[in-house]
Amino acid sequence: MIVRKPPMGWNSWNTFGRNIDEKLIMETADAMVESGMLDAGYEYLVIDDCWSEKKRDANGRLVADPEKFPNGMKAVADYVHSKGLKFGMYSCCGSMTCAGYPGSFDYEFIDAETFASWGVDYLKYDYCFRPMDQQGHLLYKKMGLALANCGRDICFSACSWGADQTNEWIKQTGAHLWRSTGDIVDSWDSVKSLIIKQDEYLTTNGQGCFNDMDMLIVGMRGKGNVGLSGCTDEEYRTHFSAWAFLGSPLMAGGDVRDMDETTKSILLDKEIIAINQDEAYRQPFNCGNHWKINDVKVWAKYLEGGDIAIGIFNLTDHAADPFIPLDALGLSRVSGKAVSVRDLWKKEELGVYADVFRTDHIPAHECRMYRFKVVDAK
C-alpha cells in the first residue's frame, strides 16, 4: 500500500476517550458526510483505545466489547464503508493498550488478520506496556510485516510519540505515518510546545512516512477527554494551519456531530487543506528574519507546480512584524523575479513584492498562511 498524502479523518480519543460505542460511530460517520468533511478529504473514521473486551477469546482473538458494539466490529465497518468513508482502529505493540485493554504483542499476525476480516483500513499502533527487552523498531516491524501480509490494504499509523529516536528507525518498519510528539491537550500551551518541537523534525518531513503531530483539537473548546482550558478561535486557526503547513495528518478530534460555524470554517478551508495535501509533499524550511531567534516561526515549502507556501506562526505573547528576504526562498535580486502574494485565510491578493516581503502586524498567537506565485519583477 502506498500512502501518497497525509491521511485525513477523525479519531475518537480527544473528545470521547473511553466513551465510545456503535451509536456514536454511526452518527459520526453520518456527520462526516453531511458536514462536508468527506468531500473536503477527511476520509478515515478511526476508533481509538477502549473498544475491546478485557480478554481475548479462546482462539486468542480480540473481541469487541459487546455492550459498546453489540453488532460486532464488522457491522460498524460496513456502516462506515456504506457512507464512502474508510474505517480505522487502534491497538498497541505492548501486552496492553495504554488504557489497559489487550495489546498485540506476540499476537501481531492474528490481530492483523482479525482487523482485515472486519474490513479495517487504518491501524493506529501505540507504544505502552512494551516488553523492556524488545526494541521499538522491532515491535513496529512485527506489526508492519503482519499488516503487509494480511491480505488487505491497511494504513499503518505508528504512535510511539517520537520516543527512543523514532525518527531514526520508523521508515524501516512499514509505517505510513509516525507520531513525533507526546499527546496533545486542548490548550494553547500544548499547541505551542508541539509546534516548537517540530523545528527538530523539519528534515524528517517529506514523502514516505508522514510526521504525525497528533489529532486536532480544533473546536473542542475545553470539552471532552483531553479538553483543558480550550483555545480562542485564532489559536485554533494557528493550530490547524501549523499542522496543515508541516504536512501532518489532519485527524479531527472534536465532536463533529456538533460543530459551530467557526470550527467548520477552519477544518474545511480548501486552500489550507491544499497546502497539506500538495502532491509534492516537500520538506519545509526556515526562512525570514525571525528564524531561530525566537518563537515566531517563519517557514516556507515549495509546492507542486512552482508556487511557494509560507506559514508564519507567532507563538509569542506579543505582536510581531516578520519579513522574508526573497533570497531565502531562492529568488535572488539578479533573477528578475518577484512574488505575487495571496493571503490564504483572508482570501485576498496582496500584490507583487520584489526583494523582500513584509507581513502586516501579526498579533500574539496568530498566524499567516500565504501562497507565493513567482512572477516577473516590474
| Contact footprint for ligand GAL (CB under 6 A) | 13, 48-49, 97-99, 126, 128, 159, 161, 183
The span from the CA of 77 to the CA of 91, in Å, is 16
Nearer to ligand GAL, 126 or 366 (CB): 126
Point out the catalytic residue in the list 30, 78, 164, 183. Answer: 183
Nearer to ligand GAL, 48 or 255 (CB): 48
Tell me which residue has cell 491497538. Answer: 91
Known catalytic residue: 183? yes
Cβ atoms of residues 46 and 95 within 8 Å: no
C-alpha grid cell, residue 342: 495571496
Q: How far is CA 74 from CA 20, 57, 63, 84, in A?
A: 16, 17, 11, 15
Smallest gap from Cβ 98 to ligand GAL, in A, equals 3
Point out the catalytic residue in the list 48, 126, 186, 255. Answer: 126
The span from the CA of 7 to the CA of 247, in Å, is 10
Nearer to ligand GAL, 159 or 287 (CB): 159
C-alpha grid cell, residue 22: 456503535
Smallest gap from Cβ 270 to ligand GAL, in A, equals 27
Smallest gap from Cβ 177 to ligand GAL, in A, equals 13
Nearer to ligand GAL, 16 or 357 (CB): 16
Nearer to ligand GAL, 97 or 190 (CB): 97
Smallest gap from Cβ 230 to ligand GAL, in A, equals 19
3 state SS of 124: strand
Amino acid at 136: G
Residue whose CB is nearest to ligand GAL in the complex, by number: 98
The span from the CA of 276 to the CA of 274, in Å, is 5
Closest CA relative to residue 269, chosen from 310, 304, 218: 218
Smallest gap from Cβ 212 to ligand GAL, in A, equals 10
The span from the CA of 199 to the CA of 205, in Å, is 11
**Phi/psi at 368 (nearest 5 deg)?**
-130, 135
Catalytic (active-site) positions: 126, 183
